[in-house]
Chains A and B, each alone.
Chain A
Amino acid sequence: MIHFPKLMLGDNLPSLVKIATALVDDYSPTVECNAEDLITAEPVALCLLAAAFGQLQRRGQRARIRGLRAQVKENLARLDVLREWLRERPEQLQSVDSGDSQSILRACRVATLGEANELANMLSREIAAFVPADDMGAILQTDPSLYQYRVVEQPLGYIIAELLDNSLNHARASGFGHARAWVAAQYYGVGDLLRLAVVDDGCGFLESLKHHPGVTPKTHQNAISMAFQPFFSCKKDVGIFRDATHQGIGLTVCRDLCLRADGQISAASGTAWLSSPATPGEISRRLNPGYQGSVVMMTFHRRAITPGSLGEIFRRYQPDENLPIRFI
């Protein structure tokens, strides 16, 4: 019997990975779970559970969840990523009350890059359109600062698209053609906090970068950290890096967008979990058991995002002076 705790939070990633691992290590025809304590699960927990249940399903197993509170079940069943687990009618992306009555969760599974682009557009647009209740009054007064809520649309869409593209492309290039990704977001009726998680069941950072001489020694910790370094997987590494067409800036820009929005970012793969990867504040922790695929989770504040952030970040990393490109 696998027990789900009361709170399945990103801050306790090792516990979440342990639960996901216990699920996939169970080869019983029906995997028994006890969820009577479960009240709320953050995006990364939903993604990890969905990935684990997906693996059970591919092996022809079933999962039986005992004690799931009616409200939690009703809410989770509306999430695309868990619909097969709960055997509910298929629905597309849905918003749900996560159980704590203050937040909204959105989650979806992505199997193709076409789906990834569509989801990045849909999810970021819907989140940007949401204004917390404590600011609704300001709308009536046409407070121009509320424009700041819409500003999240482009950076959020950028981050989701890049993370999903990264997950699926690297997995396929490393022989994990079956890999899928799960994305979940959580935002609140009060305040501007936004949580985002992207999890895949692909090859993980180290497998993608194992032939790169920059990853020395060949550890999960080094691989994650280097993946967030700018230009790490650049074109001049042709023949060394397996999918050498990448420029090696995608994860770096996602991290910088998050940090500029007063955010926190962490990534995990294998037996390593890094907060603020490839920054002076990087903190590395050990995951035991480890996670085969990759996990990226972040929290940031929507109102801290400023227009033009993306351009400012790219100008900082641009290798040469501006070229005479024809902009009309």
Chain B
Amino acid sequence: MSTIAHDTTVKASTDPSIFILGTRSVAVPLRQRVESALQSGPGNVCLDFTGMTVTQSYMDELLGVLILRYGPALLERVAFKMCSEDVRAVIQFVASARIRDYRELAAKSAIS
């Protein structure tokens, strides 16, 4: 288990009526907060998914977009807290697919 210190912890949702984070648009404000926190200093960000379910579309808009922008190294500065097994699987799927996309795009850029 990593002992990394997390400078910023962000709850995925603070609305008690929400248990599923489903549409892409819902992910955008959280992604902007994460991006802002990462850019503001060398610290890390912890995303808290306590009690939440996420769709692949939501997680792709949150994490997938960040990976495509910053590459796999982004995962060294982001941690995921209190994720159910389902949420972990969605995160693993999105990260895996988008890292592959990132590498393919980088390889194409290098060739051209």
Contacts and interface: CB of A to CB of B under 8 A. Distances in A.
Interface string B1-33: 110101000000000011111111110000000
Given A117-B26, A121-B19, A165-B24, A327 B104 contact: no
Given A250-B57, A318-B93, A319-B96, 17 more contacts: A113-B26, A114-B26, A116-B22, A117-B20, A121-B19, A161-B57, A162-B22, A162-B56, A166-B57, A235-B97, A235-B98, A310-B86, A310-B89, A314-B92, A317-B93, A327-B83, A327-B88
Chain B interface size range = 35 or more
B22 A161 contact: yes
A43 to B, nearest CB: 19
A225 interface: no
Interface string A310-323: 11101101111111
A247 interface: yes
Interface in A111-168: 112-114, 116-118, 120-122, 124-125, 153-154, 157-158, 160-162, 164-166, 168
Given A234-B101, A247-B60, A314-B93, A154 B24 contact: no
Interface string B64-106: 1100100010010011110101101111111111111100110
Q: Which of B1, B21, B79, B97 is most buried by chain A, counting CB atoms within 10 A of its CB?
A: B97
Contacts of A320: 96, 99-100
Interface of A: 112-114, 116-118, 120-122, 124-125, 153-154, 157-158, 160-162, 164-166, 168-169, 231, 234-236, 245-247, 249-250, 253, 308, 310-312, 314-315, 317-328
A323 B96 contact: yes
Contacts of B75: 323-326
A250 B56 CA distance: 7
Q: Which of A117, A168, A231 is most buried by chain B, counting CB atoms within 10 A of its CB?
A: A117
B85 A311 contact: yes
A117 B29 CA distance: 14
A235 B56 contact: no
Q: Which of A247, A312, A326 is most buried by chain B, counting CB atoms within 10 A of its CB?
A: A326
B20 A157 contact: yes
B112 to A, nearest CB: 14
Contacts of A165: 22-24, 55, 57
Contacts of B85: 308, 311
Contacts of A235: 68, 97-98, 101, 105
A114 B22 contact: no
Q: Which of A112, A118, A317, A328 is most buried by chain B, counting CB atoms within 10 A of its CB?
A: A328
A311 B89 contact: yes
Q: Which of B19, B20, B78, B92 is most buried by chain A, counting CB atoms within 10 A of its CB?
A: B20
Contact of B57 (A125, A246, A314): A246
